């Protein structure tokens, strides 16, 4: 009976794969191409690991690779929920199946596909690179199987625990963030690789020492321990590796039962009782009254609640931190890189009304004078400053601390504030003059036909912002090269701050009348789909 279920589900998975490919030649080509690519990559990795045998830090690399692989399996179902149709057990809900056989069957089905094959090759490579005795080879076979099991069980557990999330609006919101995670991850990997290149694989050793106790990397750690003769350690690591899938399968089985015996997300959401009163949050009480506070509150709520806005903010925050701090860590960076944070965050002022989408009509019906437009824009700039000002200060201070160049802190802070002011000013002006629509679905940020507009808005604005900063930059250079100028570099902090504030006010004053007279045109520009 159990074996029957398993083989049926595995065959179901195979049919789904086959039928998916039968649908179109393009899809088939893409599948074959990605399969070949993945297997070539895995094979190359396998060879690489074989070549790594005997290297002093091979164990750390192998353990780390296993951990990264497991991480991939964990986050994959969050971002690509539609990727595997048998992954969604709610489709099987009408069938008379007990949880235990179902778990076994779904697990077996999960082991079919390119992903598991790819992982098998990578894990085999990891094991090969650290296996140096007959006993180690024996343990390696068990270790690879256990590690693969943990990976697949991880993916299944996470997917089931989140299936409600994945089929709901919230889950789809999360998917918008997925591109971002990949982008930031790439940045981190890039810096990591550079760092490795400059100082060798030994850098990985401390990380490896921790990870060798974390399943599934602990399985590979066990192979290494056997190779070095530490049988006790190896046994402990193996036990850990075996306990992990057991725990995961139990958790998975429990959430699967719960999932299949309770109503789905949409029903639950509709029946949700009236929640707590959120109309006056703590945040709102701290904000000023009138239109300013109202606009700020809405803007700040959108940073958190609107997936597109959130993705843009997280990208800016992350890159604004990563570039100066990682460069400083590598010792290659200049302290002036700290201005990156202010620049990246200032971008959020651009295309303010495009961020509203066609809901801008509501704002348009409440703006009847340049004064209203001014207060509206100022509110948005203030909301931005609430996050940006402390963040830019923090990043600048952190970068300075890493480089140990404290005397330079005031001038870099001053430069940051001046740049931020210039970005806010140009952002406000281009928001009024070159608004464009931001599509709400998918990863695209510009509607077809408005790409030129977006380019003018962002790049024209950024160049203008740099030009606007010229006086402060010139002052900085002059103080740095002139004799005795160092004694006056503290003055750049107030000077930069005042200059930034002045430029911002000027920009807002110039943007406001344009906004007020161009309301219908702005609405038209931001309503394109």
Judged by beta carbon, residue 132 or residue 301, the one nearer another protein is: 301
Least CB distance from residue 359 to another protein, whole Å? 4
- 519 part of the interface to another protein, by CB under 8 A: yes
In the list 232, 362, 483, 484, the residue contacting another protein (rule: CB under 8 A) is 362
- 23 part of the interface to another protein, by CB under 8 A: no
Q: Contact region for another protein (CB under 8 A) — 89-97, 115-123, 354-362, 450-458?
A: 354-362
Q: How far apart are CA 241 and CA 214, in angstroms?
A: 8
How is residue 270 written in tokens?
């509709």
Residues of span 231-250 touching another protein by CB under 8 A: none
In the list 59, 84, 297, 411, the residue contacting another protein (rule: CB under 8 A) is 297
Q: Contact region for another protein (CB under 8 A) — 28-36, 110-118, 202-210, 353-361?
A: 353-361
Phi, psi of 528 (to 5 degrees): -65, 140
Q: Contact region for another protein (CB under 8 A) — 121-129, 141-149, 332-340, 359-367?
A: 359-367
- 285 part of the interface to another protein, by CB under 8 A: no
**# chain residues binding another protein, by CB under 8 A:** 40
Structural contact between residues 208 and 65, judged by C-beta atoms closer than 8 angstroms: no
- 175 part of the interface to another protein, by CB under 8 A: no
- 134 part of the interface to another protein, by CB under 8 A: no
Cis previous bond, 234, omega within 30: no
Least CB distance from residue 435 to another protein, whole Å? 15
- 167 part of the interface to another protein, by CB under 8 A: no
Instruction: Tell me which residue of 297, 303, 434 sits closest to 376, measured CA to CA.
Output: 297
Structural contact between residues 393 and 417, judged by C-beta atoms closer than 8 angstroms: no
In the list 361, 405, 501, 514, the residue contacting another protein (rule: CB under 8 A) is 361
Element (H, E) at 170: helix 169-199
- 527 part of the interface to another protein, by CB under 8 A: yes
Structural contact between residues 140 and 222, judged by C-beta atoms closer than 8 angstroms: no
| Cα-based distances in Å from 206 to 67, 131, 193 | 14, 21, 16
- 365 part of the interface to another protein, by CB under 8 A: yes
Judged by beta carbon, residue 295 or residue 412, the one nearer another protein is: 295
In the list 36, 56, 207, 359, the residue contacting another protein (rule: CB under 8 A) is 359
Q: How far apart are CA 381 and CA 389, in angstroms?
A: 11
Q: Contact region for another protein (CB under 8 A) — 99-107, 246-254, 471-479, 516-524?
A: 516-524
3-state SS record for 234-271: HHHHHHHHHHHHHHHHHHHHHHHHHHHHCCCHHHHHHH
Q: Contact region for another protein (CB under 8 A) — 14-22, 30-38, 177-185, 269-277?
A: 269-277
Q: How far apart are CA 347 and CA 424, in angstroms?
A: 8
Least CB distance from residue 481 to another protein, whole Å? 50
Least CB distance from residue 194 to another protein, whole Å? 38
Judged by beta carbon, residue 7 or residue 440, the one nearer another protein is: 440
Least CB distance from residue 281 to another protein, whole Å? 9
- 366 part of the interface to another protein, by CB under 8 A: yes
Least CB distance from residue 109 to another protein, whole Å? 33
Quote the crossing angle between the two packed helices 492-517 and 519-526, to the nearest 10°.
90
Q: How far apart are CA 354 and CA 370, in angstroms?
A: 19
Region of residue 351 (left: phi > 0; alpha: psi -120 to 50; beta: else): left
3-state SS record for 194-240: HHHHHHCHHHHHHHHHHHCCCCCHHHHHHHHHHHCCCHHHHHHHHHH
The string of DSSP letters for 306-333 reads -HHHHHHHHHHHHHHHHHHHHHHHHT--
Which residues of this protein are in contact with another protein, per CB under 8 A? 169, 269, 272, 274-279, 289-291, 293-295, 297-298, 301-302, 305-306, 356-359, 361-369, 519-521, 523-524, 527
């Amino acid at each position: 009976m159990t074996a029957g279920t398993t083989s049926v589900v595995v065959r179901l998975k195979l049919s789904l794969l086959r039928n998916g490919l039968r649908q179109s030649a393009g899809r088939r080509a893409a599948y074959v191409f990605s399969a070949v690519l993945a297997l070539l990559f895995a094979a190359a990795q396998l060879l690489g690991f074989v070549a790594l045998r005997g290297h002093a830090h091979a164990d750390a690399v192998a353990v780390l690779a296993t951990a990264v692989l497991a991480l991939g399996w964990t986050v994959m179902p969050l971002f690509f929920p539609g990727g595997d149709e048998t992954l969604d057990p709610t489709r099987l809900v009408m069938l008379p199946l007990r949880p235990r056989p179902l778990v076994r069957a779904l697990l077996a089905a999960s082991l079919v596909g390119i992903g598991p094959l790819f992982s098998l090759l990578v894990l085999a490579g990891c094991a090969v690179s650290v296996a140096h005795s007959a006993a180690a080879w024996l343990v390696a076979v068990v270790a690879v199987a256990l590690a693969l099991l943990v990976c697949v069980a991880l993916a299944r557990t996470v997917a089931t625990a989140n299936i409600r999330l994945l089929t709901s609006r919230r889950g789809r919101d999360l998917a918008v963030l997925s591109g971002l995670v990949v982008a930031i991850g790439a940045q981190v990997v890039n810096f990591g690789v550079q760092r490795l290149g400059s100082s060798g694989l030994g850098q990985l050793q401390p990380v490896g020492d921790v990870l060798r106790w974390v399943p599934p990397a602990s399985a590979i750690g066990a192979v290494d321990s056997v190779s070095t003769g530490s049988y006790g350690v190896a046994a402990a690591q193996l036990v850990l590796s075996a306990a992990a899938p057991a725990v995961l399968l139990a958790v998975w089985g429990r959430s699967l039962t719960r999932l299949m015996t309770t109503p789905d997300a949409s029903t639950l959401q509709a029946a949700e009782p009236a929640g707590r009163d959120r109309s006056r949050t703590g945040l709102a009480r701290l904000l000023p009254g009138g239109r300013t506070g109202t606009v700020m509150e809405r803007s700040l709520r959108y940073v958190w609640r609107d997936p597109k806005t959130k993705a843009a903010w997280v990208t800016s925050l992350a890159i604004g931190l990563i570039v100066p701090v990682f460069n400083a860590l590598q010792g290659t960076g200049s302290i002036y890189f700290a201005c990156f944070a202010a620049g990246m965050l200032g971008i959020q002022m651009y295309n303010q009304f495009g961020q509203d989408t066609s809901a801008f009509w509501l704002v348009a019906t409440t703006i009847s004078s340049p004064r209203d437009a001014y207060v509206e824009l100022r509110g948005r700039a203030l909301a931005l400053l609430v996050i940006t000002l402390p963040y830019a200060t923090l990043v600048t201070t952190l970068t300075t601390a890493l480089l140990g160049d404290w005397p330079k802190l005031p001038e870099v802070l001053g430069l940051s504030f001046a740049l931020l002011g210039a970005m806010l000013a140009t952002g406000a002006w281009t928001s009024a003059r070159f608004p464009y629509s931001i599509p709400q679905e998918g990863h695209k940020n510009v509607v077809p036909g408005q790409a030129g507009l977006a380019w003018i808005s962002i790049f024209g604005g950024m160049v203008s912002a740099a030009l606007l900063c010229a006086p402060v930059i010139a002052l900085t250079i002059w103080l740095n090269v002139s004799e005795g100028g160092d004694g006056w570099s503290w003055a750049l902090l107030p000077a930069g701050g005042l200059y930034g504030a002045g430029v911002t006010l000027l920009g807002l004053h110039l943007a406001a009348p344009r906004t007020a007279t161009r309301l219908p045109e702005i609405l038209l520009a931001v309503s394109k789909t």
